C-alpha cells in the first residue's frame, strides 16, 4: 500500500471542502438572508475543514504504522499459522507485512463477547491482505468494521445459528472466531472463512453484491457468466474441486473459487485451468507456481 496521500485525493478533498463552504452559504442565505449566509459559510467551511483533516490524519497514521518495524513475534506467528505466508517469495512477504500494519492501523475490529488480542487481529488482517497483496494502490475502504463472534450466529446476529461468516453491503464483516482459527489450522482443505468474506466485499458494486468481483478481467471466450455456468455444471456432476457451496447462490461462486485458488492452487490449476488463470491475472499472484518452487526447494 502507498504511504503518501495521492495528489488527486488531496485535490478532491480541497474541492469538496470548497463545495461544502459554498453550499452552506447558499443554504443559509436562502433561509435567513445575509446573516444566514454568513453562518452557513462558516458552518460549511468548518465541515469541509474537518473532512479534509480527517483524510490527512489517515495518511499520517499510515506513515506512522509503516515507520515502525514489523514485530518479530508477529512475523513468527504468521509463519507458524499461515501456509500462504510461508509460500510467498521474500519480497512479497515484506509487502504482506506492510499491508498488515496498514490494515491494522485503519480497520476497526470489535470482539462481541470475546476479548481481541494481537493474534486474532493478525489473522483477520492476513485474510484481507492475502487478496489485495499485488494491488499496491488498493485500500480496504469498503470495510466499515470487523465483528468477531465467539461462535456461529444467525441472520439476526444472535449466537447459535448456522452462519460462520457474513458480509453486509454497508461494509461490516462478521466472522466466527472458531471458524477463523480452523481456516488457518487446516490449509489445503479449500475452506477459509476470512478469505471468503473479504472476497464478498470485492463483489460490492454500488451497495449491491455482484456475481463477479468489480474489476475482474473478462475470461477468454464467452465471458464470465458462461465460465461460471460451465463450472457450476461440473459441480453438479461431481467433477469439481470446488466446494459444493459454490452453487448455493450466484454470489457465492466467486468467494468459494477464491478460497480454492489460495488453499488448493495446484489442484485448481490442473482441474480448472481457465478459472485459475482468470484469478491469477486478477489477483496478480500465482500460488500454484509458488507451491511448485517450494516443493522443489524442499525435495
Query: 153 - beta bridge partners?
Result: 159, 163
The grid coordinates listed for 225 are 457468466
The grid coordinates listed for 110 are 470489535
pLDDT given for residue 223 in this prediction = 86
Phi, psi at 138, each rounded to 5°? -85, 140
pLDDT given for residue 13 in this prediction = 41
pLDDT given for residue 216 in this prediction = 87
User: How far is residue 56's CA from residue 284's CA, in Å, rounded to a whole number?
Assistant: 30
DSSP string, 220-256: SSS-HHHHHHHHHHHHHTT--SS-GGGGSSGGGHHHH
The grid coordinates listed for 42 are 462558516
Task: Say which DSSP state 264 is in.
Answer: S
User: How far is residue 276's CA from residue 87's CA, in Å, rounded to a whole number?
Assistant: 17
- Full-model pTM: 0.80
From first to last of its 299 residues, what are the pLDDT tens digits of the chain?
555 445 454 444 445 445 545 754 565 567 677 765 566 556 545 555 444 445 455 556 666 767 788 999 999 999 999 999 999 999 999 999 999 999 999 999 999 999 999 999 999 999 999 999 999 889 899 999 999 999 999 999 999 999 999 999 999 999 999 999 999 999 999 999 999 999 999 998 877 888 888 888 877 667 888 999 999 999 988 999 999 999 988 899 999 999 999 999 999 999 999 999 999 999 999 999 999 998 866 54
pLDDT given for residue 64 in this prediction = 77
Q: How many beta carbons lie within 10 A of that of residue 13, not counting itself?
A: 18
H or E, element range at 165? strand 165-167
pLDDT given for residue 136 in this prediction = 86
Phi, psi at 70, each rounded to 5°? -70, 120
User: How far is residue 114's CA from residue 143's CA, in Å, rounded to a whole number?
Assistant: 21
Amino acid at each position: 500500500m502507498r504511504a503518501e496521500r495521492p495528489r488527486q485525493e488531496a485535490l478532491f478533498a480541497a474541492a469538496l471542502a470548497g463545495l461544502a463552504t459554498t453550499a452552506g452559504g447558499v443554504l443559509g442565505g436562502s433561509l435567513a438572508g445575509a446573516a444566514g449566509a454568513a453562518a452557513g459559510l462558516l458552518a460549511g467551511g468548518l465541515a469541509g475543514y474537518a473532512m479534509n483533516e480527517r483524510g490527512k490524519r489517515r495518511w499520517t497514521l499510515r506513515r506512522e504504522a509503516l515507520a515502525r518495524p514489523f514485530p518479530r513475534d508477529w512475523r513468527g506467528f504468521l509463519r507458524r499459522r499461515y501456509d500462504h505466508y510461508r509460500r510467498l517469495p521474500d519480497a512479497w512477504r515484506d509487502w504482506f507485512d506492510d499491508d498488515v500494519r496498514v490494515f491494522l492501523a485503519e480497520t476497526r475490529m470489535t470482539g462481541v463477547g470475546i476479548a481481541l488480542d494481537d493474534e486474532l487481529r493478525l489473522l483477520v488482517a492476513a485474510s484481507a491482505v492475502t487478496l489485495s497483496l499485488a494491488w499496491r494502490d488498493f485500500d480496504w475502504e469498503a470495510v466499515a468494521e470487523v465483528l468477531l463472534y465467539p461462535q456461529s450466529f444467525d441472520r439476526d446476529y444472535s449466537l447459535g445459528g448456522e452462519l460462520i461468516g457474513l458480509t453486509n453491503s454497508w461494509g461490516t464483516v462478521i466472522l466466527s472466531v472458531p471458524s477463523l482459527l480452523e481456516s488457518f489450522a487446516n490449509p489445503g482443505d479449500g475452506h477459509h472463512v476470512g478469505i471468503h468474506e473479504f472476497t464478498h466485499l470485492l463483489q460490492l458494486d454500488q451497495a449491491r453484491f455482484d456475481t463477479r468481483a468489480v474489476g475482474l478481467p473478462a475470461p477468454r471466450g464467452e465471458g464470465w457468466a458462461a465460465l461460471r455456468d460451465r463450472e457450476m455444471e461440473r459441480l453438479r456432476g461431481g467433477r469439481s474441486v470446488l466446494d459444493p457451496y459454490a452453487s448455493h447462490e450466484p454470489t457465492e461462486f466467486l468467494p468459494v473459487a477464491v478460497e480454492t485458488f489460495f488453499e488448493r492452487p495446484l489442484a485448481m490449476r490442473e482441474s480448472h485451468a481457465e478459472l485459475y488463470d482468470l484469478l491469477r491475472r486478477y489477483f496478480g499472484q500465482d500460488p500454484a507456481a509458488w507451491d511448485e518452487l517450494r516443493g522443489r526447494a524442499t525435495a
